[in-house]
Structure 1
Amino acid sequence: MIFLGFADDVLNLRWRHKLLLPTAASLPLLMVYFTNFGNTTIVVPKPFRPLLGLHLDLGILYYVYMGLLAVFCTNAINILAGINGLEAGQSLVISASIIIFNLVELEGDCRDDHVFSLYFMIPFFFTTLGLLYHNWYPSRVFVGDTFCYFAGMTFAVVGILGHFSKTMLLFFMPQVFNFLYSLPQLLHIIPCPRHRVPRLNTKTGKLEMSYSKFKTKSLSFLGTFILKIAESLQLVTVHQSDDEDGAFTECNNMTLINLLLKVFGPMHERNLTLLLLLLQVSLGMGLTPPCFPFSVALTVVIFLCRSWAALSPSPFGTSLSDSSTTSEPPDHCLLPHSLQGS
C-alpha cells in the first residue's frame, strides 16, 4: 500500500486503479482470515431477529464485505484530505478510538484479538503523533497519498483480524459521510476535477470553497436531478453563467471540507483542521459507548485548543484572530497539488 501511495503521488493514478490495487492487496489478508478464523456468522440486529433469527451465516458474502471494507478504509482517509494536519490528525483520532475500544474490551471473551490490535495500534498512534507535530500548520512535512493508504490499510487489518470490523465503521463516520457526499463526483455523474482541495484567498489568508465548472449541456439528466436535490437541501452552492461558448454551471466540490466552509464561511486553515478533528472526535468516538467519555474529554480539549489558538499569538508569527490581514499565501500552497492530498 505504501508503494501504491507513492505511485499515486508520482503518476496520478486513475480511480479504477485505486480500487483495483487495494482489492488485490486485501486478498492475502482475507486468506489469513479464512485459514485462521473462517467465521462468517454475524449477530442480526434486533429489529430483524424475528425474520432472520439471532445469527446469520453470510458465507462468501462476508468475505466480499471485508474486501470492500479494506478498499474503503484505504481510500477514505485519502478522500478526506488536502489541508495541513488533517490526514495525520484524523488517523490519530481513529487510532486513539481503536486503542480505547480495545482496552475496554480486554476483559471480554476476545481478549487475544484485542491484544493483537493493540500491538499494531499503539506504535501507529505514537508514530502518527510525531508525524502530526511536523505536519501541523504550517506544515514542514507533507504526508501525501503514501501515508493515507498505509494508515487506511492498517485500520482495515486490525478491524478484520481483530474481529470488530463493524465497530470499525463507527470510527469512520465522518469518512463515510464524506464518501457518500462525494459519490456523485467520484462516479462522474457530476464532473469531478483532479483535486478538490479548498482554494486560498491570498488577500484574507483564509480558505474558501473550491468549485467545479462545466458546460450545462454536458450534465446528464441524473446529474441535473442530483444537483437540484443537493441544492434544495443546501448541500451545494450552484451558479449559472453564460458566455460566447454557451451556458455554464459551477458548483462547489462535494467534500466534507468544502461543506464546512459553506456552512461556517471562509476560515483559517488551522481553524478548519481543528473543526474537522472536533467532528472526527464527536462522531467517530461519540457513537461508540465505550469511547463516549473519552470523546467528551477530547472534544473539550480540542475546543479549548481552538479557542486558545484564536486568542493567542501564533508561535509562527501570525495569530488566527488577525489571519484576515495576511497578504502572502502559506508556503505549502506553492507546492504541487499531489503533495497536498486529493
Structure 2
Amino acid sequence: MAPRRRVLSASVEPQQVEPQPMATVAEDPPMSTVAEDPPMSTVAEDPPLAPPKLGLVLFASAHFFFPFVYLVFIHYRIEEELRRSIAICAAMSFAGFVVCLRMIPVAARYVLKRNMFGYDINKKGTPQGNIKVPESLGIVIGIVYLVIAILFQHFNFTADSNWLVEYNAALACICFMTLLGFVDDVLDVPWRIKLVLPSFAALPLLMAYAGHTSIVIPKPLAQFVGVAFLDLGWIYKLYMGMLAVFCTNSINIHAGLNGLEAGQTVVIAAAILIHNVMEIGTSSDPEYKQAHAFSIYLMLPLLTTSLALLSYNWYPSSVFVGDTYTYFAGMAMAVVGILGHFSEALIVFFLPQVLNFLLSCPQLLKFYPCPRHRLPSFDPKTGLLTGTDDGTLVNLFLRKFGKCSEKSLCIRLLIFQALACLLCFWFKHILAGWR
C-alpha cells in the first residue's frame, strides 16, 4: 500500500451517545454524557490553523522566479506576443496563489466538520501526534488551478486555434484525475484500483492527441538503428498512457513526510518551466515554440498554487494534501510532458520517483509483506526517524545516511530531487550537439 500519513476518520463517530429524553435529563443529568459531549470537546480540542509559512515560500520562489524572469525577458529574444501571454499567465497564477492562501483555512474548517482528518504518524507519542490535521486540502488547489487555466483561454486562444482542442483535453484529464483523487480520499480505494484510475483519466488526452508519434534518435545511436527518426505509431500512444499512470502514482507513493508531496511538485514544476523557456529561446520552429509555451501555461498555475499549499503543508504540517493533490499534480505534469513533446526529459525529472517505484515493486507485487503505512520508525524521545526495511526512498535515505528529523529528511529528499533535475539539464546540454 502507498505510504500515507492519514488515519481514516470514517470510523470516528463523535455522536455515538444516544440523546436522552428531556424529562430524564431534567431529573438526573448523567455526568458522563455531559462530560463527553462531542461537539463541545471538538470545539475545545481543535486548534486554529497555523498561519502559512510565507518565509519558506519567499525563499523557494526567489530561487526560481528570478532565473525565469531573466530568461524570458532578458536572456532570450522571445516574441513580444509570447512574452505577453507568459506575463498574463504569471499574473493570473499569482492571483491563484493569493486565493489558495485564503481558501485553504476555510476549506480546512469544512473538512474537519465532515470528520475528514488524520493524525500525523511521524509524531505519534508527542502532543503534535494527537492533533487532528485536516485532510484532502488538495481539492482547493485543483479547483483554483482549473479556474485559472480555463479563464486563461480568453486571453490566449481563439475559437479556431489549433491548440484549443488539446488544451481542453489536458484540462479534462486533470479535472477527471482530481475528481478520482477526491473519491479515493473519501472511499479509500484499494491499491490495485489506484493503478487503473489514471488510465481512465488519460482517455481524453489520448483521444484528442494529434501530434507526431515518432522519437528522435541521438546521433551516436542512429548508426545502429539506421534512422534519425523512429515512428512508433500506436506504441507511442500506449507509452503516453503508461506515462500518465506512472506520474500520478509515483507522486502518491513517494510520500509520508510533511511537505514532501507538495515540495517535489514545486521542484519538478520549476524545472519544467526553465526547460520550456530554454527550448523556446533556442528554437526557430514556431510549432515547437508553441508546444513549450503550452506547457508553460499549464505549469505556472501549478507552481504557484502548490507553493500556497506548501506553506501550510511544510513541517509541522497544518494540513494534509491527500490523494486528491498527488493525483492532480502527477496528471498535470504528465499532460504537459506529452503535449509539450518532452516526455523523455520528464522521466529524468522524475528520477527519484522512478527509483522509489523500483524499490517499491517487490512489496507492491506482494513478493514481500506490504504494510499499509510504509513509514520510518519514529522515536518520540529523540524526535528522530529510523529507516525500516520497507522499500521506499524515504527509508533508503535513513538506512544509508543515518537517522534524522523529519524536516531534515524532507530537505535532503528535495535536494536530491533538484539534483535529478540538474542532471536532466546536463544531459540535454551534452546531447544537444548529437541531434
The two structures have a TM-score, normalised by structure 1, of 0.70
- 1:148 equivalent in alignment to 2:354: no
The CA deviation string for residues 24-80 of structure 1, in whole angstroms up to 9 with x for no partner, is 11111111213xx2x111112344322322111111100111000000001011110
Query: Per the alignment, in what secondary structure is the counterpart of residue 42 of structure 1?
Result: strand
Q: Report SS of the residue matched to 1:286.
A: helix
The CA distance in 1 between the partners of 2:316 and 2:232, in whole Å, is 48
Residue in 2 that maps onto 1:43 = 216
- What is the Cα deviation at residue 102 of structure 1? 0.7
Which one of the candidate residues 171, 178, 203 is aligned to 1:27?
203
**Separation in 1, partners of 2:220, 2:363:** 34
SS at match of 1:288: helix
Task: Tell me, in whole angstroms, the C-alpha distance in 2 between the residues paired with 1:140 and 1:283.
Answer: 29
2:405 alignment counterpart: 268
Cα distance, 1:129–1:290 mapped onto 2, change above 3 Å: farther
Equivalent-residue separation in structure 1 for 2:368 and 2:218 (angstroms)? 36
Distance 1:47 1:200 in 2: 49
Q: Read off the aligned partner of 2:257 and give its amino acid letter.
A: I
Residue matched to 1:65: 239
SS of the aligned residue for 2:209 comes to helix
What CA distance in whole angstroms lies between the structure 2 residues aligned with 1:168 and 1:93? 12
Whether 1:103 aligns to 2:277 is: yes
Look up the match of 1:123: 301
Determine the C-alpha separation between the residues in 2 that align with 1:283 and 1:48: 24
CA pair 171-68 structure 1, distance change in 2 beyond 3 A:
same
SS in 2 for 1:266: coil
What is aligned with 2:292? 114
**Distance across 2 between alignment mates of 1:5 and 1:25:** 11
- Counterpart pick for 1:3 among 165, 172, 179: 179
Question: In the alignment, which of 370, 393, 411 is matched to residue 256 of structure 1?
Answer: 393
Kept in 1: contact 2:345–2:424 (CA 8 A): no
- Structure 1, 163-172 or 283-292: larger mean CA deviation: 283-292
**Contact 2:266/2:306 (8 A) holds in 1:** yes
1:120-148 Cα offsets, whole Å, 9 max, x none, are 11111111111111111001111011100
CA contact (8 A) 1:2 1:150 kept: yes
Measure how far apart 1:96 and its partner are: 0.2
Match of 1:75 in 2: 249
Distance in structure 2 (CA, Å) of the matches to 1:24 and 1:76: 17
Deviation at 1:254, TM superposition (A): 0.3
What CA distance in whole angstroms lies between the structure 2 residues aligned with 1:189 and 1:130? 39
Instruction: Report the more deviating stretch, 2-11 or 140-149.
Output: 2-11
Q: What secondary structure does 2:196 align onto?
A: helix
> 3-state DSSP class of the match of 1:200?
strand
Q: CA deviation at 1:290?
A: 8.6
Whole-angstrom distance in 1 between the partners of 2:369 and 2:228: 45
Supply the distance in 2 between the matched residues of 1:46 and 1:254 (Cα, whole angstroms): 37
Match in the other structure for 1:91: 265
Contact kept in structure 2, 1:74 and 1:152, CA below 8 Å: yes
Structure 2: how far apart are the matches of 1:67 and 1:290?
Answer: 25
**Corresponding residue for 1:287?**
424
Deviation of 1:165 after TM superposition, in Å, equals 1.1
| Partner of residue 240, structure 1 | none
1:81-230 equivalent positions in 2, closer than 5 A: 81-107=255-281, 108=283, 109=285, 110-210=288-388
The reply to whether residue 15 of structure 1 matches residue 152 of structure 2 is no
Q: 2:427 & 2:298 partners in 1: Cα distance?
A: 20
SS for the counterpart of 1:287 is helix
Give the superposition deviation at 1:262. Answer: 0.3
The RMSD of aligned alpha carbons is 1.6
Greater share of residues in strand: 1
Report the equivalent of 1:245. Answer: none
Aligned length: 248
Q: Percent identity?
A: 54
Task: Compare CA radii of gyration and give the structure with the larger one.
Answer: 2
Q: Deviation per CA, 1:277-318, whole angstroms, max 9, x where unpaired? A: 0100011333323999xxxxxxxxxxxxxxxxxxxxxxxxxx
- Take 1:51 and 1:103, find their aligned partners in 2: how far apart are those partners? 32
Q: Is the 1:104–1:290 Cα contact (8 Å) retained in structure 2?
A: no
Point out where structure 2 has 5 or more consecutive residues left out of the alignment: 1-176, 430-435
CA-CA distance at 1:182 after TM superposition = 1.0
Question: Deviation of residue 5 (structure 1)?
Answer: 1.7
Deviation, structure 1 residue 9? 2.3
Structure 2 length normalisation: TM-score? 0.55
Aligned equivalents of 1:16 and 1:45: distance in 2? 37
Is the Cα contact below 8 Å between 1:100 and 1:290 reproduced in 2? no
In the alignment, which residue of structure 2 is the partner of 1:232?
none
Residues 170 and 288, structure 1, Cα contact 8 Å, conserved in 2: no
Query: Shift in Å at residue 16 of structure 1?
Result: 2.1
Task: Say whether 1:55 aligns with 2:229.
Answer: yes
Deviation for aligned residue 1:8: 2.2
Q: Deviations over 1:177-202 (max 9, x none)?
A: 11111111111111111221223111
